[in-house]
Homo-oligomer: A and B are copies of this chain.
Amino acid sequence: MTGAAGFVGRPLLRALAEDGHEVSCVVRPSTEISAIAPYAAVIFPYGGYQQLYQIARETRPELVLHLAGLFLAEHSPDTIVDLLESSVLFPCVLLDAADRAGCGRLVNTGSYWQRYNGADYDPVNLYAAAKQALEDCAAYYVRAKNWKMLTLQMFDTYGPGDTRRKVLNLLHGLKDGESLAMSSGEQKMYFCYIDDVVDAYRQALRLLDAQPPGTARTYAVRGELPCSLREAAGVYLEVSGRRPALQWGVRPSRPREFLDPEGLGEVLPGWKPRYSLREGLRRYENGWN
Which residues of A approach B to under 8 Å, CB–CB?
A: 49-50, 53, 75, 77, 80-81, 84-85, 88-89, 92-93, 96-97, 100, 116, 121-126, 128-130, 132-134, 136-137, 139-140, 143-144, 255-256
Contacts and interface: CB of A to CB of B under 8 A. Distances in A.
Copy tally for this chain in the complex stands at 2
A140 to B, nearest CB: 4
B81 A89 contact: yes
B93 A84 contact: yes
A122 B93 contact: no
A144 B125 contact: yes
Nearest to A78: B50
Contacts of A116: 143
22 contacts: A49-B80, A49-B81, A75-B96, A77-B97, A77-B100, A80-B96, A81-B89, A84-B88, A84-B137, A88-B88, A88-B89, A96-B126, A116-B143, A122-B139, A123-B136, A124-B144, A125-B144, A126-B140, A129-B137, A133-B136, A133-B137, A144-B255
A100 B76 CA distance: 10
A77 B96 contact: yes
B130 A137 contact: yes
Nearest to A129: B140
Contacts of A140: 123, 125-126, 128-129
A41 to B, nearest CB: 24
B143 A123 contact: yes
Nearest to A128: B140
Contacts of A124: 144
Contact of A139 (B49, B129, B134, B139): B129
B121 A93 contact: no
A88 B133 contact: yes
B89 A144 contact: no
A204 to B, nearest CB: 23
A93 B78 CA distance: 11
Contacts of A129: 136-137, 139-140
A38 to B, nearest CB: 33
Contacts of A137: 84, 126, 129-130, 133
Nearest to A84: B89
Rank and list the top 3 A-B pairs by shortest CB-CB distance, nearest first: A133-B133, A129-B140, A132-B136
A77 B92 CA distance: 11
Given A126-B137, A144-B255, 8 more contacts: A77-B100, A80-B96, A84-B137, A124-B144, A125-B140, A125-B144, A129-B140, A132-B139
Contacts of A84: 88-89, 92-93, 137
Contact of A53 (B50, B77, B88, B126): B77
Given A81-B89, A93-B84, A122 B134 contact: no
